[in-house]
Amino acid sequence: MKKYVYLFEENRYSEKNLFLLGNKGVQLAEMSSIGLPVPPGFTITTEACNLFYTNNKKWPAGLESQVFEKLKKVEMKMKRKFGDKKNPLLFSVRSGSYVSMPGMMDTVLNLGLNDETIEGFAKSINSERGAWDSYRRFLNMFGDVVLKVPHEEFEKILSAKKKSKAVKNDTDLNVNDLKELVEEYKELIKKKTGKPFPQNPKEQLIKSINAVFNSWNIPRAVSYRRINKLREDAGTGVNVQTMVFGNLGNDSGTGVSFTRNPSNGKKEHYGEFLLNAQGEDVVAGIRTPKPVDELKKVMPKVYAELLKVYDKLEKHYKDVQDFEFTIERGKLFILQTRAGKRTPAAAVKIAVDLVKEKMISKETALMRVKPEQISAILHKQFDAEEKKKKEILAKGLNASPGAAVGKLVFTAEKAKELHDENPSLELILVRTETSPEDIEGMHVAKGILTARGGMTSHAAVVARGMGKPCVAGCSAIEIDEEKRIMEVKGKKFSENDFISLDGATGEVFEGKLSLVEPKFSADVKTLLSWADKIRTLGIRTNADTPHDSIVAREFGAEGIGLCRTEHMFFEKDRIKAVREMILSDSKEAREKALTKLLPFQRSDFEGIFKAMHNLPVTVRLLDPPLHEFLPKEEKEQEELAKDMNWTLDKVKARVNSLHELNPMLGFRGCRLGVVYPEINEMQVKAIIEAAINLKKKKINAMPEIMIPVLGHVNEMKLMRELVKNTAEKTMKEHKTKINYLIGVMMELPRACLTADEIAEYSDFFSFGTNDLTQTCFGFSRDDAGTFIPAYIEKKILLDDPFASLDQTGTGQLIEISVKKGRKIKPKLKLGICGEHGGDPSSIEFCHKTGLNYVSCSPFRVPVARLAAAQAVLKQKKK
Amino acid sequence: MKKYVYLFEENRYSEKNLFLLGNKGVQLAEMSSIGLPVPPGFTITTEACNLFYTNNKKWPAGLESQVFEKLKKVEMKMKRKFGDKKNPLLFSVRSGSYVSMPGMMDTVLNLGLNDETIEGFAKSINSERGAWDSYRRFLNMFGDVVLKVPHEEFEKILSAKKKSKAVKNDTDLNVNDLKELVEEYKELIKKKTGKPFPQNPKEQLIKSINAVFNSWNIPRAVSYRRINKLREDAGTGVNVQTMVFGNLGNDSGTGVSFTRNPSNGKKEHYGEFLLNAQGEDVVAGIRTPKPVDELKKVMPKVYAELLKVYDKLEKHYKDVQDFEFTIERGKLFILQTRAGKRTPAAAVKIAVDLVKEKMISKETALMRVKPEQISAILHKQFDAEEKKKKEILAKGLNASPGAAVGKLVFTAEKAKELHDENPSLELILVRTETSPEDIEGMHVAKGILTARGGMTSHAAVVARGMGKPCVAGCSAIEIDEEKRIMEVKGKKFSENDFISLDGATGEVFEGKLSLVEPKFSADVKTLLSWADKIRTLGIRTNADTPHDSIVAREFGAEGIGLCRTEHMFFEKDRIKAVREMILSDSKEAREKALTKLLPFQRSDFEGIFKAMHNLPVTVRLLDPPLHEFLPKEEKEQEELAKDMNWTLDKVKARVNSLHELNPMLGFRGCRLGVVYPEINEMQVKAIIEAAINLKKKKINAMPEIMIPVLGHVNEMKLMRELVKNTAEKTMKEHKTKINYLIGVMMELPRACLTADEIAEYSDFFSFGTNDLTQTCFGFSRDDAGTFIPAYIEKKILLDDPFASLDQTGTGQLIEISVKKGRKIKPKLKLGICGEHGGDPSSIEFCHKTGLNYVSCSPFRVPVARLAAAQAVLKQKKK
């Protein structure tokens, strides 16, 4: 019979076991094996969970018998029995998939308590109060998670009880109060479910395991997987573990800790604990816990043991660990461990430090940092000078670094709604505390502010994972969710007010602070220097101005992969000449207007070439349809008419005649060059003259002239001729020589399919994957917003293909081009200049496909450097 | 040394020689070999012509010596010498490429005459008048063709001479008149060129050969090649041939003849001759010639010889021949022969007759008719009843059959200009006589009417080749080109007047006559029945109505390959419900509107399925963006607002919200189905219910449901599910079963590239090559008009890719799909339903690529049947 259930000690960590047992299960197995004090128990495999789903929510044959067989072994080890009246063994039942999904799935604690075992349990732990507290907690949790009685109903009864007993804290309730609560909870369950609370421990266990299986597919878990791109088919393992109790009095407690500071990466103890409490009290952020080092004062012996645990975990796992512990009457238990989620800055520092500490190799360090984390580090900061002068409105915990400015929004749903209406709206989500249901709202917010909860609260953990600024536990603020008002120091803020958060300091400011570009830390520089040694892909940037070029070069760009000449056309001093050129009736008039534009273009190129001295600069010739440059408003058209000495009607007629039904597929790119060669001739002349002028100043320009929107080899023959003739004529006039290349922007399927023909006349190909995605899918980027969200929701597409390259379809066109192009010219230079050039998974694809470089926006350059190195390492691994 | 010059008898006809010697040269060689009385001479190869061009218009080494060496051999054979004073040999110099380009290139006759040879020539032909007439013709022709002195200048002198001598015809001029003309012509040449007319015969010959070489690239020849898609790199051969004279008196003459009637295909002598004339008099249509059979009366002996020639030519060439003959003092010479251009109807009749006469095989017959000729046969005719009642305005020669109605236009340039402004404008080109310069104007006109010229005049020959109606030699009309007025029987017609032409009868009518659909002749039916036996491709039709379906079935359609459901949406009684559906706020409201549409759709499908009983019908689900159905005009929007009980603003807002920047790449096709599944559900229900209703009446509907604008396998999974669920639910409700298929309209590159994935969920693929061309090229069909003409002019594209499938690019996507799709499903049904489905070269591609069927508009079905058979035969040949 298939084995569905493993005792912790029956396994060790392995890739295979990670998927079989889930992350938590395999970590429990591993921890048991390295001698950490783990409460014994067993793991039900993810396979069983998947069979549960395929089998109409029934257990596979053999699972039940295996569960109770392993349970018996645990009973033997613990010398206690499940359901025993005198000395009952209690269990926790927890979920655990191959990747930790904190708080997303369900958990049941204190399983095994009932009206009969409660007395024996009380005796065995020598605390009647502790036992009844556990029982009422169990009823609440089991009622909520397994029997679907809303948590709020239990909370209402608890609050009423505290009120009637005139106490403030749960801990102030006495045994009798708790006994009353137990009875009232049981009543509630009976009333809500129509059946009495199940007293049979075996029934409790089976139902709880089912609840965990079911929680794999509850909406928040599905959302989380979608946002984090986790596998939908993985299933969850179920960990059934002996309960230990942190709530047996002040010699007991519970806590969570990281082996290093997950916020800044420093090698220091980082964590919190609560005395006389169970684990969920810390994680849920309901009571504010104390820093872990304070344990030294309260329980020095336990603290000493904990120090050994820190050491053992890091030495064994060679990474920062995030673990939960419970102290039961002075005895330390480790309940779980996992790789600690950390801020991007911490991720880099920890990776670099671990190399310095000789714990990991540089290669491992490079794989430890996600490229997106490098992007997050580049997140904006507040202007320091401005901030100094600004009064702090409130201060909370510095839960996740980065600065954010936005309008207040008080619920996740509202945040999502506003975002869907206008994705560029900047929002700050303000909550008393966040819960897993808030995930999507957090995802669309620029930053998160909570009134309660600690550094490991839901809000803090999730925000760090997202690389989003978060200030948590900001107790100075009061929130009225109903009225959508936040009150701070008597001041009221509502939905139309802006606030600014600094997640690195925990400071909250009124209004909008200015944001400034961030700077690289030494650690980032170190890490990226390692990346540079490993990667084989070149990293260029898409830049249209000298300023962008300089920024990008500082970030490590090795040239420009896309310089869009038309962006220069829109500038105020030249748009008039551009319009004159477009409206010209004759070639002569057009050439006259172009003569006016030439000096502008030439000086633009000079600036860019200078910034990119000794590095290649790919200049794309005019790309967009001409009507984009013409005024749409009558007032502007009137002005233009005056300038041109035309009638308004004539201007209007010309604007209308240039109107297109599908401009994306219209008269643009090299089609303009075919019909109006003089436009491109002017551009080439400007490029070559700019290079010549710089040559005189010993600055080496390396222009690569790129022909856009090309689909046919005959276009390339013609355009190559045009560029060559113009360049040679210009060089002859100036009696000098400039090296330049002529290549193609590969952005149409036909160009890719005939890449062999086109390669003959091309020095390079640069894949314009934005347009290539449009034509490959038949999606207009401007219009696809009406259906792409539905496509992602219905899982037709896993990603927006404009954000992450569709490797199956669009990628296939690139592969075809590479194969055909290199067949003709084995050394053909190949690059990508679409938005995908800065997307890590697309970069990995480019590496695998044999491209020479990727080109992305300046701020993505460091991300691309890391991603390119990881691509090498991943390929090596395979 | 390379051989550039061949005596006629040194070669025979072969494919290779066709290209080497040109059509005329190889025919002269062949005719010489089969014993026809061909005046001796030699041919300069096309290779020499091409070297002339690559060699900066200089002759290749050796050409000159070879020319004069062969010339010497001809002299020996004729026992006369070129330039000899006593008995001079004269030559004609004619062009001839691999395909005859009638009248497009230049010719020089009577070469070798000068002030010295003229006397000897006069003696040798025993006609002083004939000699001087030849000399003045030679001066005119040499002056015009070689020395570029305009023909009109010579004409002016001739007219003045006739006036001063008070004679009407050229033949009325006496020897002295002609001698005066010669002097005046020489004066003209000297005045215009600054040099005297070259008296040296060798110089005359070399210059004439150069003139023929040069005429390969004169504009009208280039136009002709472009229109007829002839090879640009072929070059022309030059035929230098001994002159024979039809202008030596009334025992001489010249004529042209076809071995069968090229107008209706009947086996009868067809041709004309002129006594005492040279060839160009017949071809140019200046004098009206006599039917060839009248020769029997005038020269019975020559006529008897001619009968043998008819027989010999057809027996040898096994096809209709179009030959030129000259009678020199009672002796018959054949100057050239070529396959006779014929009307489409004649082409079919001749092909079928030659099979009946056991001269050719059915396969050869099928290859003899161009698919486009079948299309021409289907040209409209006038309504016979209406025509009977209509008074005939004038009657000319029935030069090219077919009926045409249009506005008058008096010059080719004007015709082209009007056509470019509005390509749907119907024009009749009216000319005194047409000339090769008129080609482009004829191309854009619906029909041609000339006042002069015979059945073999320029207008007649070209119009037949184009399959265009032509009435020639309609002497009742008088044309004032300057004033743009045509006068008939005292009535004046100008540019805004309509006339109607019947090219099959030669009748001209005032105003517009109604046109009716043509019927198949028995010969066409026979030919197509042979085609059906050979072709392997199925032929379906694109039809959206029962009427079109019936027409197509009569033309031989074997099913419907594309039934566009949205065309039905626009009909008046349903557009309201469609708009209501689109504007609905909720799914419920949308479903309510759809319920109103269902009966319309169902009854449409019933009609179509009934017409296609027992044949498959591919129904495409809703394709265009929804905004196409909404009113653009405010007035209509107001009405809609009233109907919907909405405010106008609300309607406007909704219309605006549906507006798209690039609708071609927008929210359409199956994307609509993904977001609003209820629309497609209604359509599927209508299809299945229609089939069920017919089943009750023993009519077998074979629906094939097609999903449009699909790019991803996940779309197909979803849509297949939708169709299947709806169909099954509907069948269950009606307690019956219907067989149906579910397939994909392959019209996006991504679908083609992932055809293997999609094939798993598809019963068939149908290539929507219109959209596939758009996305493959990145050309919007609606906007590409701004640059496609420039692309064709600059030879970037040889054809408009929307008219003839781009096999290299778009075709590659089809090939990829076929390969990938059939790899998964070896029997996957494959078809094409774009406009290309009716284009012969595209059909050949579909056959080669292994498609199962093509689908085209009803009137293209017969064309496709023939093209599909030819595809088989062509493949067999290879």
Q: Summarize pLDDT for A220-264 with one digit per residue, the tens.
A: 899 889 878 889 889 999 999 998 888 778 899 999 999 999 888
Quote the pLDDT of residue A48.
96
Asked if A458 is an active-site residue, the reply is yes
Judge whether A568 and A544 are in contact, CB under 8 Å.
Answer: yes
pLDDT higher at B423 or A300: A300
φ, ψ of residue B768 in degrees (nearest 5): -90, 85
Quote the pLDDT of residue A102.
80
Distance from CA of B658 to the nearest CA of A (A): 9
Q: Residue A293 carries which side chain, given as an amino acid letter?
A: D
Quote the pLDDT of residue B793.
83
* Residue A455: band (very low, low, confident or very high) from pLDDT cuts 50, 70, 90: low
Q: For residue B656, what are the contacts with CB-CB under 8 A and spacing of at least 6?
A: none
Quote the pLDDT of residue A286.
65
Of B782, B787, B795, the CB nearest to A671: B787
Which range among A470-479, B387-396, B596-605, B748-757 has the greatest average pLDDT?
B748-757
pLDDT single digits (tens) A724-755: 999 999 999 999 999 999 999 999 999 999 99
Torsion of CA A159, A164, A165, A170, to 10 degrees: 0
Instruction: Supply B756's token pair.
Output: 């293997």
Quote the pLDDT of residue A467.
64
Mutate to test the interface with B, among A719, A746, A777, A805 (most CBs of B within 10 A): A777
pLDDT single digits (tens) B479-529: 888 889 999 988 999 998 999 999 878 899 999 999 877 767 899 999 999
- Strand positions, DSSP E, B652-735: 702-707
Q: Do A674 and B782 touch (CB under 8 A)?
A: no
H or E stretch at B24 = helix B15-33
Of A662, A778, A783, the CB nearest to B711: A778
Res. B672: pLDDT tops 80: yes
Judge whether B565 and B621 are in contact, CB under 8 Å.
Answer: yes
Quote the pLDDT of residue B237.
96
List the Cα angle A108/A112/A113 in 5-degree steps.
100
Quote the pLDDT of residue B171.
80
Chain B residues in contact with A791 (beta carbon < 8 A): 671, 674
Quote the pLDDT of residue A284.
60
Of B665, B712, B757, the CB nearest to A774: B665
Distance from CA of B64 to the nearest CA of A (A): 36
- Residues of chain A with pLDDT > 70, as a percent, come to 98
pLDDT higher at A116 or B576: A116
Q: How many CB pairs under 8 A join A and B?
A: 178
Asked if B470 is an active-site residue, the reply is no
CA of A664: which chain B residue's CA is closest? B662
Quote the pLDDT of residue B852.
98
- Could you report the predicted ipTM of this complex, rounded to two decimals? 0.76
CA of B716: which chain A residue's CA is closest? A796
pLDDT higher at A109 or A767: A767
Chain A residues in contact with B784 (beta carbon < 8 A): 665-666
Q: Do A784 and B809 touch (CB under 8 A)?
A: no
3-state secondary structure of B244: coil
Res. A572: pLDDT tops 80: no
Instruction: Supply A702's token pair.
Output: 């390396």
Q: Is the pTM of this model over 0.90?
A: no
CA–chain centroid gap for A810, Å, is 24
Of A665, A806, A813, the CB nearest to B779: A665
Res. B472: pLDDT tops 90: no
Distance from CA of A723 to the nearest CA of B (A): 17
- Residues of chain B with pLDDT > 90, as a percent, come to 66
Which range among A28-37, A487-496, B199-208 has the greatest average pLDDT?
B199-208
The DSSP 8-state label assigned to residue B59 in this structure reads P
| Out of A456-460, A480-484, A519-523, least confident range | A456-460
Distance from CA of B808 to the nearest CA of A (A): 7
CA of A715: which chain B residue's CA is closest? B796
Res. A476: pLDDT tops 90: no
Question: What average pLDDT does range A685-693 have in this prediction?
Answer: 98
Res. B670: pLDDT tops 90: yes
Distance from CA of A664 to the nearest CA of B (A): 7
Judge whether B772 and B709 are in contact, CB under 8 Å.
Answer: no
Quote the pLDDT of residue B283.
61
CA of A673: which chain B residue's CA is closest? B787
Res. B47: pLDDT tops 90: yes
Res. A873: pLDDT tops 90: yes
Distance from CA of B261 to the nearest CA of A (A): 44
Instruction: Supply B400's token pair.
Output: 């090219």
User: Tokens 């209004």 correspond to what residue?
Assistant: A511
Of B675, B747, B786, the CB nearest to A787: B675
Judge whether B531 and B363 are in contact, CB under 8 Å.
Answer: no
Q: Do A660 and B780 touch (CB under 8 A)?
A: yes
Question: What average pLDDT does range A558-585 have in this prediction?
Answer: 86
Question: What average pLDDT does range B603-622 have in this prediction?
Answer: 97
* Residue A792: band (very low, low, confident or very high) from pLDDT cuts 50, 70, 90: confident
Quote the pLDDT of residue A432.
86
Rg of chain A's alpha carbons, rounded to an integer? 32
Mutate to test the interface with B, among A628, A746, A750, A815 (most CBs of B within 10 A): A750
pLDDT single digits (tens) A183-226: 999 999 999 999 999 999 999 999 999 999 999 999 889 988 98
φ, ψ of residue B450 in degrees (nearest 5): -125, 155
The active-site residue, picked from B833, B846, B847, B856, is B833
Of A660, A757, A797, the CB nearest to B712: A797
The DSSP 8-state label assigned to residue B821 in this structure reads H
Res. B424: pLDDT tops 80: yes
Q: Do A749 and B675 touch (CB under 8 A)?
A: no
CA–chain centroid gap for B426, Å, is 17
Res. B453: pLDDT tops 80: no
Full strand arrangement of the beta sheet holding A270-275: A290-291, A270-275, A253-258, A321-328, A331-339
Q: How many residues does chain B have?
A: 878
* Residue B20: band (very low, low, confident or very high) from pLDDT cuts 50, 70, 90: very high
Q: Do A778 and B709 touch (CB under 8 A)?
A: yes
Question: What average pLDDT does range B8-24 have in this prediction?
Answer: 91
DSSP B519-542: ---HHHHHHHHHHHHH--SEEEEE
User: B582, exposed or middle or buried, with CB in 10 Å at 0-12, 13-18, 19+?
Assistant: buried
Of A674, A714, A753, the CB nearest to B787: A674
Q: Which residue, A437, A433, A441, A442, is CA-closest to A462?
A: A442
Quote the pLDDT of residue A767.
98
Q: Do A780 and B664 touch (CB under 8 A)?
A: yes
φ, ψ of residue B14 in degrees (nearest 5): -160, 160
Quote the pLDDT of residue B285.
60
φ/ψ bin of B402: left (φ > 0), alpha (ψ from -120 to 50), beta (otherwise): left
Chain B residues in contact with A623 (beta carbon < 8 A): none
Chain B residues in contact with A775 (beta carbon < 8 A): 665, 749, 775-776, 778
- Strand positions, DSSP E, A100-236: 107-111
Long-range contact pairs involving A215-221 (C-beta distance under 8 Å, separation at least 24):
A215/A95, A215/A104, A215/A105, A215/A106, A215/A145, A216/A49, A216/A53, A216/A95, A216/A97, A216/A105, A217/A53, A218/A105, A218/A106, A220/A104, A220/A436, A220/A437, A220/A439, A221/A101, A221/A104, A221/A105
CA of A775: which chain B residue's CA is closest? B775
Q: Which residue, B391, B361, B390, B282, is CA-closest to B327?
A: B282
Res. B282: pLDDT tops 70: no
- Residues of chain A with pLDDT > 90, as a percent, come to 65
Instruction: Supply A450's token pair.
Output: 């909570």
Distance from CA of A431 to the nearest CA of B (A): 33
3-state secondary structure of A297: helix
Res. B876: pLDDT tops 70: yes
Res. B278: pLDDT tops 80: no
φ, ψ of residue A209 in degrees (nearest 5): -60, -45
| Out of A636-640, A676-680, B560-564, least confident range | A636-640
Chain B residues in contact with A718 (beta carbon < 8 A): 794, 796
Q: For residue B446, what are the contacts with CB-CB under 8 A and spacing of at least 6?
A: B404, B405, B406, B426, B427, B428, B468, B469
Chain B residues in contact with A779 (beta carbon < 8 A): 665, 711
Distance from CA of B718 to the nearest CA of A (A): 8
Res. B21: pLDDT tops 70: yes
pLDDT single digits (tens) A816-835: 999 999 999 999 999 999 87
Q: Do B783 and A749 touch (CB under 8 A)?
A: no
* Residue B444: band (very low, low, confident or very high) from pLDDT cuts 50, 70, 90: very high
- Strand positions, DSSP E, B374-484: 381-382, 394-395, 397-400, 403-409, 427-431, 447-450, 470-472, 477-480
Judge whether A426 and A446 are in contact, CB under 8 Å.
Answer: yes
Of A666, A753, A796, the CB nearest to B712: A796
* Residue A857: band (very low, low, confident or very high) from pLDDT cuts 50, 70, 90: confident
Q: Do B787 and A749 touch (CB under 8 A)?
A: no
Distance CA B121, CA B751 (A): 76
Quote the pLDDT of residue B698.
97
The DSSP 8-state label assigned to residue A40 in this structure reads P
Judge whether A82 and A71 are in contact, CB under 8 Å.
Answer: yes
Chain B residues in contact with A796 (beta carbon < 8 A): 674, 712, 714-715, 718
pLDDT higher at B815 or B648: B815
Q: Which residue, B497, B469, B489, is CA-closest to B409?
A: B497
CA of A812: which chain B residue's CA is closest? B753
Quote the pLDDT of residue A402.
85
- Strand positions, DSSP E, B676-787: 702-707, 741-746, 764-767
Distance CA A483, CA A495 (A): 10
Quote the pLDDT of residue A100.
84
